[in-house]
Amino acid sequence: MAKRINADTPKKRKIWTILCLIIVCAIAVALRADIVYRIYPLEFEDEIAFYGEKYAIDEYLICAVIYTESHFDEQAESGKGAIGLMQVMPDTGEWAAGIIGINDYSEDMLKDPETNINIGCWYLGYLTEMFDGDADMVLAAYNAGPSNVQQWTDSNGTLTIEFEETQTYLERVQRYYEIYKGLYDIF
């Protein structure tokens, strides 16, 4: 038979109340953590780790770009025609596939997570080289194209983003980068 906790003295009641609050708080934290991980999922870890290493791209940045672009929906298509997890434009996909040696490339392959992550990471690496590792320029170029970023950069190398959508994109990726880096410690 289970022993009943005697909480009839004020001191015992106070201890019992504190213990109950700790248990309730622990449960709330655990449930909240589960919700946070559902809001910011991490899928395709192997592909992200492999292509991040191959193209020297921070894996948390890849996660942030994927989350910003598609919320990890491999079938995502934008109104502008970008496809897949990293929202690769078909022309960019075809061009990149030719350079990195993806045989028999077709636009449908952009819905394949591995192909999409491969091409998206290669393109981030390409932009990283083009803009000497300046993360703001790289992300702005990923969103708006490298020619726009070149036009927005003055002779001193200062970037002034002229599209509100691109500025918002940059801020979102930066915010999600910090979230993914804080939530997941797997890479």
Annotated catalytic residues are: 69
Residues forming a β-bridge with 88: 83
Phi, psi of 42 (to 5 degrees): -130, 110
The region, left, alpha or beta by phi > 0 then psi within -120 to 50, assigned to residue 81 is left
CA dist 10 and 7 (Å) reads 8
What DSSP element (H or E) covers 154? none
Q: Which residue has the tokens 């942030």?
A: 64
* Token pair of 60 as six digits: 């948390």
3-state secondary structure of 159: strand
Of 115, 148, 150, 116, nearest to 130 by C-alpha is: 150
